[in-house]
């Protein structure tokens, strides 16, 4: 089985590092494509032994499982470009936040009757094999396809199938989650430094405390509220600190954060579903490089004067010969 990545940024890099660490696939069987060869992640992937190319079509031809690891607004370009090259064997896995399975299927069905599409939401800790991944299965993907994806993603952390309508909430929680945790550890370390600890030690201890607590919770049958109680001796330091946190609205802040991330994801999806997006939203360099690819016509990627149509079925087809 070969795996391909359209896009060679943070996500592709993290997944490849995780897969290699897990030994679930050999790097020679991985291909990644990106128009921009200067990215640090591109160099990182090259070092890992991944086949790198600037041609998305090449990645498609060399892969069975194809991860779409580009930003959400790039997806339609990519789909128009590779649509003609998709074969029956291909399993398309989109990792783009807010991009629906039906929008991808609609695009690909211009070229193929039953494209196998799946949608997943993962997060960066896949790089250390502690990722949190959910996936939803598209109309034409089989149970075995789900199992295959699950096997891959379970090698780099927790993975489970969900209904697609939950994916935005997952984005808000575990997609963005590591950022919340990094912020928390940074601030905890600040607290430690304020009280006299050297920075490096403070960061180390802060991260370890969070990691240890998470491990305890995952291994325990108990409610986190109960585990919290177990740490709070009467009149002790911890309960005083917790009161301070409650006074600051700690809990509601976290609820708000997850909600904001989820809502923004839905907004992005809504923007994508609208038929128009301004060309200014696309990095000129990226667009230029895509247009420079052999076999890619401007009309084929739906570029029209005065605006770029995303999921319009009116764009002229480029049939594969």
Partner 1 sequence: MSQIKTDPEMESQLKIGFIGAGNMAYGIAKGILSGDVLPANMKVSAPSSRNLGRFQELGIAVTHSNPELVCSSDVVFVAVKPHLVPLVLNEVSQHITQRHIIVSVAAGVTLATLEDLLPFNSAVLRLMPNLPCLVQEGALLFSRGSHAKPEDGALLRSLLHRCGLVEEGPEAWIDIHTGLSGSGVAFVYLFAEALAEGAVKMGMPSALAHSIASQTVLGAGRLLRDSGKHPSQLRSEVCTPGGTTIYGLHTLEQGGVRAATMSAVESATERARELGQKSAGVGCKK
Binding residues: 6-11, 34, 56, 69-72, 95-97
Shortest distance (Å) from residue 233 CB to partner 1: 14
186 vs 259, which CB is nearer to partner 1? 259
Shortest distance (Å) from residue 240 CB to partner 1: 10
N residues, the chain: 321
Shortest distance (Å) from residue 241 CB to partner 1: 12
Q: Does 299 sit near partner 1 (CB under 8 A)? A: no
Both tokens of 103, joined, read 């929008």
- Which secondary-structure segment (H or E) carries 313? none
5 and 32 Cβ atoms separated by less than 8 Å: yes
Shortest distance (Å) from residue 169 CB to partner 1: 8
Stretch 53-92 residues interacting with partner 1 (CB under 8 A): none
From the annotation, which residues make up the binding site for NADP(+)? 6-11, 34, 69-72, 95-97
Show the CA angle centred on residue 285, arms to residues 282 and 288, nearest 5°: 90
7 and 75 Cβ atoms separated by less than 8 Å: no
200 vs 243, which CB is nearer to partner 1? 243
Strand pairing of 157-161 and 276-277? unpaired
DSSP SS3 for 252:
helix
Stretch 22-51 residues interacting with partner 1 (CB under 8 A): none
Stretch 194-253 residues interacting with partner 1 (CB under 8 A): 222-226, 229, 243, 246-249, 251-252
Shortest distance (Å) from residue 246 CB to partner 1: 4
118 and 101 Cβ atoms separated by less than 8 Å: yes
Distance separating alpha carbons of residues 234 and 194, to the nearest angstrom: 25
46 vs 228, which CB is nearer to partner 1? 228
154 vs 184, which CB is nearer to partner 1? 184
Total residues in contact with partner 1, by rule CB under 8 A: 16
Exposure string (b/e) for 104-137, b if CB count within 10 Å is 16 or more? bbebbbbbbeebbbbbbbbbbbbbeebbbbbbbb
**Sign of torsion over alpha carbons 107, 55, 96, 164:** positive
From the annotation, which residues make up the binding site for NADPH? 56
Stretch 248-277 residues interacting with partner 1 (CB under 8 A): 248-249, 251-252, 255-256, 259
Shortest distance (Å) from residue 111 CB to partner 1: 37
Shortest distance (Å) from residue 209 CB to partner 1: 20
83 vs 177, which CB is nearer to partner 1? 177
198 vs 224, which CB is nearer to partner 1? 224
DSSP SS3 for 158:
strand
DSSP SS3 for 187:
helix
DSSP state at residue 197: -
- Torsion, Cα of 143, 26, 128, 263 (10° steps): -40
**Would you tell me which residues interact with partner 1 (CB under 8 A)?**
222-226, 229, 243, 246-249, 251-252, 255-256, 259
């Amino acid at each position: 089985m070969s795996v391909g990545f359209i896009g060679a940024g943070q996500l592709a890099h993290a997944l490849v590092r995780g897969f290699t660490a897990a030994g679930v696939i050999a790097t020679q069987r991985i291909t990644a494509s990106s128009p921009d060869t200067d990215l640090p992640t591109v160099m990182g992937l090259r070092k890992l032994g991944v086949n790198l190319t600037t041609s998305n079509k090449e990645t498609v031809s060399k892969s069975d499982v194809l991860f779409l690891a580009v930003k959400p607004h790039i997806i339609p370009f990519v789909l128009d470009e590779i649509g003609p090259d998709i074969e029956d064997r291909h399993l398309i896995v989109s990792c783009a936040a807010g991009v629906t399975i039906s929008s991808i299927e609609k695009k690909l069905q211009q070229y193929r009757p039953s494209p196998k599409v799946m949608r997943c939401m993962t997060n960066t800790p896949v790089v250390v094999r502690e990722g949190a991944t959910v996936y939803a299965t598209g109309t034409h993907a089989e149970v075995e396809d789900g199992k295959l994806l699950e096997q891959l993603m379970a090698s780099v952390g927790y993975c489970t199938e969900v209904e697609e309508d939950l994916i935005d909430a997952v984005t808000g929680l575990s997609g963005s989650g590591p950022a919340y945790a990094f912020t928390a550890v940074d601030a905890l370390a600040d607290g430690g430094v304020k009280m006299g600890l050297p920075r490096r030690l403070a960061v180390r201890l802060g991260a370890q405390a969070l990691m240890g607590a998470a491990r305890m919770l995952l291994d325990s049958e108990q409610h986190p509220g109960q585990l919290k109680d177990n740490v709070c001796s009467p009149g002790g330091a911890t309960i005083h600190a917790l009161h301070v946190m409650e006074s600051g609205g700690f809990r509601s802040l976290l609820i708000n954060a997850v909600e904001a991330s989820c809502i923004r994801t839905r907004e992005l999806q809504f923007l994508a579903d609208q038929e128009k997006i301004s060309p200014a939203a696309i990095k000129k360099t990226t667009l230029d490089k895509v247009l420079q690819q052999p076999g890619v016509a401007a009309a084929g990627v739906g570029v029209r004067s005065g605006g770029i149509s995303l999921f319009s079925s009116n764009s002229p087809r480029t049939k594969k010969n």
